[in-house]
Structure 1
């Protein structure tokens, strides 16, 4: 089965380039379109409730920094992106939403090797896998 629309979900850490190269190779092999997504976890969501201060400026700075890092990542790759998204909210739910809206047939995410308590509590790649509207490829990255 070949993929037509691949969604690359990146956390913009240093390991993102390894995940991106894997997605690019898949796109080139299948002739697929590549969509990039970065989700900024809402501070309200991260702290499971209302934050008693105005966090608008902080969220704007996070989005600006994410756009800069995405531009750097795009410049390192040999493929044009069909679209690039920076969204805010719950990471897994936003990845699912964008994958569904964009009719992606594969989601590529990085998987940090978790052990012990972190493994029991789950990971983003595991959360993406459960409930995804399409196939998911978790690319193993070193801690």
Structure 2
């Protein structure tokens, strides 16, 4: 007994697998009129646009960009469901941690790089004689 795949699958994956009595949706007069309307409007749209986008100033673009980023930040971290007081506390904690990281980066990164360079120089040459001023 062979299974009838047309009764199992509501939307056929391929045209060949469609049942022979399926409806041809493009044969109706309404569909043909819509296709003709789309064809005529697309040929005239190449000459001039039907709808012209309004010009947006740069401050409005920047404002919209920042609003979008803040919305993404709220959705990512789940801040949209906190009260305003909880949002302020959470943002202060994030700002403090971020400031501490920046402080450590700017004040501690240079000695880290110099110390790493001196160690690498010592491992390669065996002495600090090539860079005595930096590694003293």
| TM-score normalised to structure 2 length | 0.23
Q: Which of the two has higher C-alpha Rg?
A: 2
Going by fraction, where is strand more abundant, 1 or 2?
Answer: 1
Going by fraction, where is helix more abundant, 1 or 2?
Answer: 2
| TM-score normalised to structure 1 length | 0.22
